[in-house]
Structure 1
Amino acid sequence: MHIALLPLDERPVNTRLPRQVAAVARVEVELPPAAMLSRKKQPGDTAALGSWLEATVERSAPADELVASLDTLGYGGLIAARTTTDSVAAVLNRWEALRRVRARAPRTGLHAVSLVTRAPNSNSSDEEPDYWRHIGADLHRYGAALHRRYLGEQAGEREAGELRDRLPRESVADFEARRLRNHTVNLAALGLAADATLQTLLITADDTAERSAGSLEQHWLAHWKRVLGDAVDGVLMHPGADEVGSVLVARAVLGRIRDTPLPVAVECAVPGGLSRVAPYENLPLAQGTQGHLRAVGAAPVPADADAELVVVVHPPDQQGGDWAHGHPRVREQEHSEVRATAERVASLVAAGAAVVVADCAYPNGSDPALLAALQARIDLKSLAAYGGWNTAGNTVGSALAHGVVHATARAAGVLDDAAHHRLLLHRLIEDSAYMTDIRGRALARFTEQDRHDELPADVREPARSWIAAELARSVERFPEFAGWSLPADSVRLPWDRTFEVDFALHQADGPAEAVSEEGLR
């Protein structure tokens, strides 16, 4: 089986992670040449990417399944969708490559994702238009006020007017025009699903809130999904972004090596935990998790049913905290919620269940208390998957993708144990050792920044070298994975910042994991 992936952008979560997920079932994922892809704010070559996508089904050994980011095909990448001035007509013309693919290869699975543009609550232009550094938080509030005004809330009418009058007119006009363009494009994406060009379409949203510009646009999109009915049965909408490549790759794998949907149960040992709304999201965890289940091609079943996979969700800590913006007030191992999650995981593992742990306690990193409690009760290698990074959607979606491929590959007799353990250890090291510990210390040691924006040029290599040494030692935190190592020379900072990291893992007497020259895959 061969999958071609047009990723959301060039970062490891969108390139390396989907490959790691597929490798668990011994499936190959092909990516476009790195030179075609974006480089942060520099858009990718949309013409070349469209031609590459068409070529994947025109050769003698065509791809069996295609997974495509519509933002990359239309704008050149995730950041380009937020910063470029390309017209609706230009974007839709680039999408015609998908219709040509469908005409040329009608039996090839074609799965796509399009994002609702975010409006983050921060004054940082690292991933946004330049004016965001001055008024980004106000534009986030403006979007929320417009949403409240639409709902008939009087406070929204007043606040929207005050912000519009106070903020720079040109910046507000650009914000509004860009959102209108991108929303129009998302409506057109529904058309690609309605005319069966796309087999699956995910319209997801990251870095949002219950009241926000993006949440209002999702409401309008949901209206048209209801209107179109059965014609857009393959369209799903829920919180998420960087996990979607892995989710759709997993969906493609399941569709090829399994005749029926994988039955998956979702549990939370904390009463009411699934009703909580995680930071940066706009739906309760229960709804978001069900969206990821449908997206990955699984069949939700009750907790007491005969599930082949159980996802245990560790819910958001109600005290708050965010690993990217400071050190949360982490609870003790014996905290009732930590203990409840750990004991439920341990009991399921002891009963022989395949278990995924989705650690959603804190954004942008895992819960150290939960990991310690789990290590005291189980062998971490016994898990089907683990996730604890960025948003709850990122965590649930990527962990679920790994878990369903693991369960399906095992049942089909194609499981690659080494690839499974590599991915499991990679997530434990990145989500725990790096995000909750090494990353914050690196930011404080090498900069005076309070955000993980681009590093000053003179500290990039010293910071990378120090991080590499710390990461190489971090494998020792997980003695269950004896025989694995993290070569310091494999460590990269893909966007010259501390927020994300790339590295490879090596198993003694096993094949080395490939790292590209740019360190992006």
Structure 2
Amino acid sequence: MIKIVLLPMDERPCNRRYAEELFSHDDIRIVCPGKLGNKKEPADIHEIVSFLEQECADADGLVLSMDMLLYGGLVPSRIHHLSSCDLAQRMEVVKKIRVRYPSLKIYAWHCIMRCPDYSSDEEEPDYYEQYGAMIHKIGEAVHKSRVDMCDPGEVDRLLRRMDQGALDDYVSRRAMNKAMNLKALDFVDAGVIDALVIPQDDSAPFGYAAMDQKEIRAAVVERNLMDKVLIYPGADEVSLTLTARMVNHLRGKKPSVYIRYASEQAKMVIPIYEGNSLENTVKSHVISAGCRICDTMKDADFVLMVTAPAYRIREANEQPSLDPGYLTERNLPELLDETEECLRRGKPVVICDNAYGNGGELALIRMLNKLKILDKIAGYAGWNTSANTLGTALAEGVDFDAHGRSQAHMNFLMERYVEDCGYMSNVRWKIDSLLGTKNLQDGIDLSPFSYTEVGEERGVVSQLIQKELEHYIHTDMSSVSERVQIEDVWMPWRRMFEAGIRVWYQFNE
């Protein structure tokens, strides 16, 4: 029995549950903490340390979120008031675990602090509600001025409109978090951490996050750590990615992946919320998952079908897009035909549905349903950012390569169809518009990210969502609907942006 200890980045299902759901089998046990924080409320560091000390004693691998260990979670990393001394002491926990359990494999990740381009304090400091967009613009202007792409006077003009106290607070916390990113490199260099991922959460080509990334990349090169440290767009999928890598390492295999794009031009697309070309990000994710890219489909352990358009990726609530990048320069019928051919040859297919941001492509699911191959696919993902989708899809490919079409795997696959497309691209917007009527009357503006509050984890809203999702299953997933059952629906952070959904699939081997 392989035992992997996972310290997730926060308590949301994508971080807390996905890896455990997908990779738990008779021969693999994934262990997570029973209690974490709650959005802006950080987890108890003493409980986290106790969990690690106890569970790592007989573990084969540790997949560790530095954001959870240092700050108590991803959102707390953006609002904390911890001192450098506090953070250094928490970092030493990893060193103590390495000394106590020298044979333990340790994979870790530590996010570069994001800088969203919109004004909302939903997951940021309170002043971000008023100054968020301005802080982003200032960071972008500072960065561009340093590379002679912007008039230096633009920075001064923006600063005159900004609250200096708020900016000082934001910049100082960024500096502290970046120092911990760099400190993690010391741990890799010393062999305390075996492999490190530094994800760029909601990144962009220019701005504070991009400047931090450049400095950290330079440090990685200077310390000759490129074989052990990866920096790429992503965040919420990394627990899945590094668990996949740990599974591959412990089973002594590096699965080969053949990448197929619906549009060759998509390789150069920079997805929304990201700052790197798609092709480069795909390569980084493949390496991070402990896999390798192969040149021919024949040599692949599984095929990754990428649905991205030729040009700009749009939001899921804008579909179907009639842009040429979707309709004329992207050949989805050919990708589907190739998918069917792979299945006929017995070649596992995983679909990275990154055609849209913040939800899967409704037309794609309907086509998979029409072709009656929803349950023949080895993996599917289509949620939030392109990187979130990519990492999840690759993890499914790794699990399928290791365990085939198991009950756990099929549950997870069906859950992805229901949640990523059924909820995020369909039901979420229906329910959100109903709630929005009252919210608008109360003077609350609906954001494009669907942060509408619902008041409780389980209640009228979650029941309404479940009813709508059951309808979605019977219509858009009719070929498998008799075998799919929704067991639970809840709202982890009491908002519409994400939902916790547990699905059971009647699987007969």
Smaller-chain TM-score range? over 0.9
Pairing partner for 2:165 from 157, 170, 173: 170
Partner of residue 328, structure 1: 319
The Cα of 1:46 is off from its aligned counterpart by 1.3
Give the drift of 1:429: 0.6
Task: Give the structure 1 partner of residue 497 of structure 2.
Answer: 499
Aligned partners of 1:283 and 1:69: how far apart in 2? 23
The one of 106, 109, 122 equivalent to 1:110 is 106
2:423 to 434, 455, 462: 434
Aligned equivalent of 1:423, options 387, 395, 412 = 412
User: Any gaps of 5 or more consecutive residues in structure 2?
Assistant: none
Instruction: Give the Cα–Cα distance (whole angstroms) in 2 for the partners of residues 80 and 95 of structure 1.
Output: 16
Shift of 1:507: 3.8
Report what 1:486 is aligned to: 485
Alpha-carbon distance in 1 for matches of 2:261, 2:51: 43
Deviation of 1:478 after TM superposition, in Å, equals 1.9
Match of 1:462 in 2: 460
1:519 paired residue number? none
Output the CA distance in 2 between the equivalents of 1:425 and 1:104. Answer: 41
Q: Does 2:358 correspond to 1:364?
A: yes
Taking the aligned partners of 1:379 and 1:307, their CA distance within structure 2 comes to 20
Structure 2 CA distance for partners of 1:509 and 1:365, relative to 1, 3 Å: closer
Q: Which residue of 2 aligns with 1:272?
A: 265
Q: Give the aligned partner of residue 52 of structure 2.
A: 53
Could you say which residue in structure 2 is the equivalent of 1:242? 236
- Give the letter for the 1:472 counterpart: E
Superposition deviation, residue 303 in structure 1: 3.6
> What is the Cα deviation at residue 381 of structure 1?
1.3
Q: Which residue identity lines up with residue 409 of structure 1 in the other structure?
A: H
Q: Post-superposition shift, 1:458?
A: 8.5
Give the distance between the partners of 1:354 and 1:434, measured in 2 at CA. Answer: 26
After superposition, residues 216-365 of structure 1 pair within 5 angstroms as 216-230=211-225, 233-257=227-251, 259-304=252-297, 306-316=299-309, 318=311, 320-323=313-316, 326-331=317-322, 336-365=330-359
Shift of 1:91: 1.2
CA distance in 2, matches of 1:25, 1:54: 24
CA offset digits 1:113-132 (Å, max 9, x no partner): 10001111111111000011
Distance 1:509 1:186, change over 3 A: closer
Q: What is the rounded CA distance, in whole Å, between the counterparts of 2:385 and 2:78 in structure 1?
A: 19
AA matched with 1:274: K
Confirm or deny: 8 A CA contact 1:358 1:388 kept in the other structure: yes
Of residues 195, 199, 203, the one that matches 2:198 is: 203
- Distance change (3 Å), C-alpha of 1:24 and 1:97: same
* TM-score between both structures, scaled by the size of structure 2: 0.92
Is contact 1:486-1:503 (8 Å) kept? no
Correspondences of 1:82-121 after superposition (within 5 Å): 82-121=78-117
**Cα distance change, pair 110–369 in 1 and its aligned pair in 2 (3 A):** same
Q: Does 1:2 align with 2:3?
A: yes
Q: Is the 8 A contact 1:190 1:225 kept in 2?
A: yes
Amino acid at match of 1:190: L
Q: CA deviation at 1:109?
A: 1.1
Give the share of equivalent positions with the same residue, in percent: 28
Give the alignment partner of residue 178 of structure 2, picking from 174, 183, 192: 183
Shift of 1:334: 7.3
Give unmatched runs, 5+ long, in structure 1. 411-415, 511-521
- Deviation, 1:152, is 2.6
Task: Say which SS state the counterpart of residue 486 (structure 1) adopts.
Answer: strand
Task: Give the conservation status (yes or no) of the 8 Å contact 1:4–1:30.
Answer: yes
For 2:89 and 2:434, how far apart are their aligned partners in 1? 47
> What is the rounded CA distance, in whole Å, between the counterparts of 2:262 and 2:90 in structure 1?
47
CA displacement at 1:320 relative to structure 2: 4.4
Shift of 1:92: 1.9
**CA spacing shift, 1:196–1:247, aligned 2, 3 Å:** same
RMSD (Å) for aligned C-alpha atoms: 2.2
Deviation at 1:162? 1.6
Distance change in 2, residues 1:24/1:401 (3 Å): farther
- Post-superposition shift, 1:396? 0.4
2:189 corresponds to which of 183, 187, 194: 194
- Post-superposition offset of 1:351: 2.6
